[in-house]
A and B are shown apart, each in its own frame.
Chain A
Amino acid sequence: MAISRRYFLKSGAVALAGCAATPSFLVRTALAQENRAPGKDHPIIIAIFQRGAADGISMVVPFGDRYYAAARPQIAIPEPMRGADERAIDLDGFFGLHPSLSSLKPIYDQGHLAIVHAAGSPDTTRSHFDAQDYMESGAPGNKGVSDGWLNRYLQVSPEPDASAFRAVALTPALPRSLAGPAAAVSMQRVASFGIHGGKASPELEEMFADLYKDTFDAVKTLRSATQQQYTPTAGVQYPNTPFAQSLQQIAQLIKSNVGVEVAFAEVNGWDTHANQGSSRGRLANDLKSFGDALAALYRDLGDQMRNVVIVTMTEFGRAMRQNGSGGTDHGHASCLFVAGGPVKGGKVYGRWPGLAPEQLYEGRDLALTTDFRNVFSEILVKHMRTPDTARVFPNFKPAAGLQIL
């Protein structure tokens, strides 16, 4: 591969990147200077999928709804009480964060974390596979759409001479969200992304470079940019989970200025059919490492967060009433988180449909009031500057924006 002028430019800029002591605004990206109007930053979206259908009413607790606690005798999160631990953390007098998500509270208080509740996919399936597929294709109910919504974003905003890392997933396989004709790479470990053949490596790379072009473009880009050892911003500690490690590597790639514009990570294990616990227990533990990982990413990126929007999603929520085994079966709406510099946070968005029996979807689940595509569209339009989302979300007309951004 001929190394383009851009890569030389970038490798000049990256010597500083990843060095925690250097404020990131000093490391102006060569990309920003080349591809964007002067003074305009390069917007980045980080999409996170909670696979398995995360319990929205445990993550963001509607303690103000009088039907909530009675439906969940063993697993409800106790309402907030001043000075008491292991209870919901009050957000606005009606909603509270699960106590395990306490590390997200400062970001909410600073106005950079928004929550959209009663959100999700309008399709009524309770199948994990179908619901994930619909959310990732961005076309609920339509099994004929073969590419993912993030890939279609790349298609409608083509970038000539884009970096091999324009779209990257820190996952074992390329996620459905990024599947499609636009190039996207996926990897699990930045540090081992290359050929390990000792002295023969360059020769072996040469041999395979044309056969697996996108992959080896990415290998070369990464080699010109990353340091061997990545150190997060001083004081930031990521939890020791695969998900947190993916977020840390996303931060590493963003700080290395390899041209990341779309990043993706996923976290499994939200299918809490049994013994999910309350303020303590299985779900609490998983939420702790989830929230801590998000907060670590946020703090690690520091002032770069002004160009970044993080959005979380989950395929559906869980039934409002606990089942016979201290868990929750498949439901309908859940909630999602949107965080970043451009986000008008400190608020729970979306109309609350209520938990009275007649307000529930099919008499059992939190009803849906916000289509996930409204949230994604708003991020694409206002943050990623996508002129037209009609091609990203086929047959979908965005409702009046939630004004999250």
Chain B
Amino acid sequence: MQDIKHLLSRISFGPQPGEVERIQQVGGDKHLDEQLHPDRIDDHSADERLAAFPSIRMSTSEIINKYPKPQQFARRMKVNTADPDSRRRIREMLRDKGMQPPEQVLQDLQSQRLVRAVYSRRQLQEVMTDFWLNHFNIYWNKNADRWLTTSYEMHAIRPHVLGKFKDLLMATAKSPAMLFYLDNHLSSATKGINENYGRELMELHTLGVDGGYTQRDVQEVARAFTGWSINRPEMSGEFMFRPRIHDNREKVVLGHRIDAGGGVRDGEEVIDILSKHPSTAHFISTKLVRRFVADDPPPGLVQHVSGVFQKTDGDIREMMHAIITSNEFNSPAVAGAKTKTPFEYAASAIRSLNGETDGGRQVTQAIGRMGQPLYQCQPPSGYPDRGEHWMSSGAVLERLNFAVALSANKIPGTSVQFDDPVKTVVARLGSPEFQKR
């Protein structure tokens, strides 16, 4: 592990001034080991900054109460929403009651993501959170997901980012946010199934599109998940199994028979089948290697990591260790070969200038303009992890304008300090090299 700059470009949101030298003293291997065990890293100073975003510590029902649906609130308060001033009046009434509109929940989520990316000492954990949130993408703007997404990130994703893949998969399968986003809460044995979750579970979350499932498997899996639902999505938003709408007959999934009468265990069995399937090991390894090594993953390394997945029961920490210590990762050919996403670009720019940011609206909107509005990717595939996707002419200009605004301290809520002439800093942040990691 010689190239510390390369290591930091992949397992963190970019080096801070002096960090490469500091870790050179510690040693790359030791630093990697620390990062693979985030719980052992004291992170209280980053945690203190998170106090500014109260909704991220709330339960779904608290969020529903404190950030109510504007129409419902208006009805309750008997405000006529047709009146042009009503929006302002509703905002004032909310404020008087200590409430806020749901958009604030999204802002808190975006802000905490950037603040953690910039300040958390558990950098790899943040990178993994970014990876898995994109892998198990959901769309904040889809109705009830405005109130369900926070709990999804905090309870389904974050605890498992370096754990066992199966636990992560199960947590997402039982999360109201995912059940709502992919319509599974509506899938019913009595009214008819909804194939949306069954298909994406195999295509996007586990086996991959060429992983060997058929249309018949999609339907069988959808039947297995009938009844996986949400208890009052807009009141409490907790997972709930509804036996009455569950299809209790026998299923055959990918050649495995699931006996009749299994109830909620049917879906759990499917998760088990999928998480043990060799196609899943291959697909997840491919995506991890693409993220951490190169847009075109070296096949030998994918195979090796896939073997680690199968030997360790899908232990993500072990897979990550295998990737980062591999010859492929440490080959000079892949250094600087990955294009930063807009989120990585913004975070790394602020980190590189010892910046101070509150993660506020202006800076998160700039990330959106560069092409990656956080939590707002509509298709279930998430954002593509390939360089060419991010470097269209419009996006390049947005990046350069971000570099200009940041260096001139023109982004409210975010400030940077440096000794060089401004032009030198703009040139560095805008350079093709700084778009890479």
Query: Could you list which residues of chain A lie within 8 angstroms of chain B, going by C-beta atoms?
Result: 51-52, 125-130, 169, 171-174, 179, 185-189, 192-197, 200, 203-204, 207-208, 211-212, 214-215, 218-219, 268-269, 271, 273-275, 322-325, 327, 329-330, 362
A203 to B426, CA, bound (A): 11
Is there contact, CB below 8 Å, between B196 and A329?
yes
Which B residues are CB-close (under 8 A) to A171?
392
A171: min CB distance to chain B, Å: 8
How many interface residues does B have (CB within 8 Å)?
44
Is there contact, CB below 8 Å, between B196 and A273?
yes
Is there contact, CB below 8 Å, between B397 and A172?
no
Is there contact, CB below 8 Å, between B215 and A126?
yes
Is there contact, CB below 8 Å, between B195 and A330?
yes
Q: Does B183 contact A (CB under 8 A)?
A: yes
Is there contact, CB below 8 Å, between A128 and B381?
yes
B349: min CB distance to chain A, Å: 16
B residues 26-41 touching A (CB-CB < 8 Å):
none
For A127, give its contact among B182, B203, B405 (CB under 8 Å): B203
Is there contact, CB below 8 Å, between A204 and B209?
no
13 A-B pairs within 8 Å (CB atoms) are namely A173-B390, A173-B395, A174-B393, A186-B393, A193-B393, A197-B404, A197-B426, A212-B400, A269-B378, A324-B193, A325-B186, A325-B192, A327-B186
Which B residues are CB-close (under 8 A) to A127?
199, 203, 209
A231 to B188, CA, bound (A): 50
Is there contact, CB below 8 Å, between A324 and B191?
yes
Is there contact, CB below 8 Å, between A215 and B186?
no
Is there contact, CB below 8 Å, between A327 and B183?
yes
Is there contact, CB below 8 Å, between B378 and A179?
no
A93: min CB distance to chain B, Å: 32
The 3 closest A-B pairs by CB, nearest first: A324-B192, A325-B186, A187-B394
Q: Does B95 contact A (CB under 8 A)?
A: no
B238: min CB distance to chain A, Å: 20
A/B pair count, beta carbons within 8 Å? 134
Which B residues are CB-close (under 8 A) to A197?
401, 404, 408, 426
B182's closest neighbor in chain A, by CB? A273
Which A residues are CB-close (under 8 A) to B190?
324
Q: Does B187 contact A (CB under 8 A)?
A: yes
A329 to B187, CA, bound (A): 11
A196 to B390, CA, bound (A): 20
Q: Does B389 contact A (CB under 8 A)?
A: yes
B residues 203-229 touching A (CB-CB < 8 Å):
203-204, 209, 215, 218
Which A residues are CB-close (under 8 A) to B191?
324-325
Q: Does B371 contact A (CB under 8 A)?
A: yes
Which A residues are CB-close (under 8 A) to B312?
none
B225: min CB distance to chain A, Å: 12
What is the predominant secondary structure among interface residues of chain A facing chain B? loop
B residues 377-397 touching A (CB-CB < 8 Å):
378-381, 388-390, 392-397
B299: min CB distance to chain A, Å: 15
Is there contact, CB below 8 Å, between A273 and B183?
yes
For A207, give its contact among B182, B218, B423 (CB under 8 Å): B423
Is there contact, CB below 8 Å, between B392 and A173?
yes
Is there contact, CB below 8 Å, between A324 and B394?
no
Is there contact, CB below 8 Å, between A329 and B195?
yes
B215: min CB distance to chain A, Å: 7
A326's closest neighbor in chain B, by CB? B186
B residues 390-437 touching A (CB-CB < 8 Å):
390, 392-397, 400-401, 404-405, 408, 423, 426-427, 430-432
Which B residues are CB-close (under 8 A) to A51?
379
Which B residues are CB-close (under 8 A) to A274?
183, 186, 194, 196
Query: 8 new A-B pairs (CB below 8 Å) besides A186-B395, A273-B196?
Result: A129-B203, A172-B395, A186-B392, A204-B404, A219-B397, A322-B192, A325-B191, A325-B194
Which B residues are CB-close (under 8 A) to A193?
393-394, 397
Which A residues are CB-close (under 8 A) to B369?
188
For A173, give its contact among B183, B371, B401 (CB under 8 Å): B371
Is there contact, CB below 8 Å, between B187 and A325?
yes
Is there contact, CB below 8 Å, between B397 and A215?
yes
Is there contact, CB below 8 Å, between A188 and B394?
yes
A171 to B209, CA, bound (A): 26
Query: Could you list which residues of chain B lie within 8 angstroms of chain A, going by C-beta atoms?
Result: 182-183, 186-188, 190-196, 199, 203-204, 209, 215, 218, 369, 371, 378-381, 388-390, 392-397, 400-401, 404-405, 408, 423, 426-427, 430-432
Known contacts A323-B193, A324-B191; is A204 also within 8 Å of B393 by CB? no
B427: min CB distance to chain A, Å: 6
Which B residues are CB-close (under 8 A) to A275?
186
B226's closest neighbor in chain A, by CB? A324
Known contacts A273-B196, A327-B183; is A185 also within 8 Å of B400 by CB? no
A200: min CB distance to chain B, Å: 8
B294: min CB distance to chain A, Å: 16
B120: min CB distance to chain A, Å: 28
A188 to B398, CA, bound (A): 10
A50 to B381, CA, bound (A): 16
Known contacts A195-B400, A197-B404, A324-B194; is A185 also within 8 Å of B215 by CB? no
For B195, give its contact among A129, A179, A323 (CB under 8 Å): A323
A128 to B394, CA, bound (A): 25
B422: min CB distance to chain A, Å: 8
Is there contact, CB below 8 Å, between A273 and B209?
no
Is there contact, CB below 8 Å, between A325 and B188?
yes
A179 to B381, CA, bound (A): 19
Which A residues are CB-close (under 8 A) to B380?
128
A144: min CB distance to chain B, Å: 13
A130 to B209, CA, bound (A): 8
Is there contact, CB below 8 Å, between A324 and B186?
yes
A271 to B199, CA, bound (A): 13
A128 to B390, CA, bound (A): 20
Which B residues are CB-close (under 8 A) to A125?
209
Which B residues are CB-close (under 8 A) to A173?
371, 389-390, 392, 395
Is there contact, CB below 8 Å, between B371 and A273?
no
B401's closest neighbor in chain A, by CB? A196
Which B residues are CB-close (under 8 A) to A207?
423, 426-427, 430
A169 to B393, CA, bound (A): 10
A269 to B203, CA, bound (A): 19
For A211, give its contact among B182, B378, B405, B431 (CB under 8 Å): B431
A327 to B379, CA, bound (A): 17
A197's closest neighbor in chain B, by CB? B404
Which of B187, B195, B405, B423 gathers most chain A CB within 10 Å?
B195
Which A residues are CB-close (under 8 A) to B389?
173
B7: min CB distance to chain A, Å: 27
Is there contact, CB below 8 Å, between B215 and A362?
yes
A218 to B388, CA, bound (A): 18
For B397, give its contact among A195, A268, A322, A362 (CB under 8 Å): A195
A404 to B4, CA, bound (A): 61
Which B residues are CB-close (under 8 A) to A187?
392-394, 397
Known contacts A174-B388, A324-B193, A325-B183; is A126 also within 8 Å of B427 by CB? no
B214: min CB distance to chain A, Å: 10
Is there contact, CB below 8 Å, between A126 and B199?
yes
Is there contact, CB below 8 Å, between B393 and A218?
yes
Which B residues are CB-close (under 8 A) to A219?
397
